[in-house]
Amino acid sequence: MYIPLANFPFLEICYINSTVPSMLANFRSESSTISFSGCFLQFYFFFSMGTTETFFLSVMAFDRYLAICKPLHYPTIMTVQNCCRMGAGCWACGFLCFLFPIYLASQLPFCCANKIDHFLCDPGPLIKLSCEPDPGTEIICAIYNSVLIFSTFLFITSSYTLVIKSVLRVPSAEGQRKAFSTCGSHLAVVSLFYGSIMVVNVSPTAGNPAGMQKIVTLFSSMLTPLFNPLIYSLRNREMNEALRKLFSSVRFRQSHGKGF
């Protein structure tokens, strides 16, 4: 379990660093420019990181399924070697999968407008800059994104459906509580991540206002990686105890101030 968890924060750091530094630099700059190759590199790395995250979330769901539904098989299947292989496979597949959409988008003719109505090189605004409309590329990208997103999402939901069925058979309430607390943080992360990417990435150029695209992309690229460590930290007893002490000290100071 800890090998995917160790990869996950590193992935989140790379995910943020693919867009946020250039975005902050553009906020401070008057020109806010990016080169053609730089735009496609940002496009590639940002969405490759997102694709890698879908695979890691699937591996983590499979890990929870084995731990709860097949506990006797868990030590023989989730060995260190297999976990390392799955982690390497997630990274490799994540970066290889998005080569085809990048190639299709790079073959479009860009000759007129050069202003992207976004704070990063998102596929929707980027495809709209093409001189000639190419519905074929849009349809292929939409199908590609849909298959990738929904296949991993269905795998995760199927795994947790089996987990929930298994947990409900546990006779003790304490055992059910422990099992649900183990899976709760991961389900929260899955809900945040997939809820945001499904809004704009399934059909990036159809029916989504530019303002909505920016808000959802900002949420998925910055706020979701910010919330994820907090969600996982809430399962830590020391973290919960520190938060209780912090809130109790704040209440004490407020009540002490009111007394005066």
Q: What is the mean pLDDT of each run of 10 residues along the chain (260 residues)?
A: 79 81 75 78 85 90 88 88 90 88 82 72 77 76 84 91 84 73 77 76 54 70 74 66 73 57
- Is residue 29 left, alpha or beta, with left meaning phi > 0 and alpha meaning psi from -120 to 50? beta
pLDDT at 255: 63
pLDDT at 25: 76
Overall pTM surpassing 0.75 (yes/no): yes
Please write the tens of the pLDDT for every residue from 162-203. Answer: 888 888 887 777 777 777 777 777 788 888 888 777 766 655
